[in-house]
């Protein structure tokens, strides 16, 4: 089961989740962001101050707990 808006305390938290999902979908196709300056993971860290892989793991655990 995926997480929706109601599973987050703020719009910002939901935005971060949506960006993480979007990056996850295309991270294998396009390793670099369109400008070619960074990888998507590094962009996520610069934009949100969170480690991308750790955040995806946290989201996965949160969704798993919610569906149990």
Read off the pLDDT of residues 9-60 as tens digits, 9 standing for 90 and up: 999 999 999 999 998 887 765 688 889 998 898 999 999 999 999 999 999 9
**Is 61:1 a contact under the CB 8 Å cutoff?**
no
Reported confidence tier of residue 7, pLDDT bands at 50, 70, 90: confident
Q: Which residue has the higher pLDDT, 4 or 17?
A: 17
Token pair recorded at residue 43: 């962009």
**Is 51:45 a contact under the CB 8 Å cutoff?**
yes
**What is the pTM for the complete model shown?**
0.82
């Amino acid at each position: 089961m995926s997480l929706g808006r109601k599973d987050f305390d703020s719009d910002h938290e939901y935005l971060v989740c949506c960006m993480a999902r979007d990056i996850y979908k295309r991270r294998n196709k396009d390793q670099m962001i369109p400008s070619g300056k960074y990888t998507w993971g590094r962009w996520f860290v610069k934009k949100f101050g969170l480690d991308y892989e750790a955040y995806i793991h946290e989201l996965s655990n949160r969704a798993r707990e919610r569906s149990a």
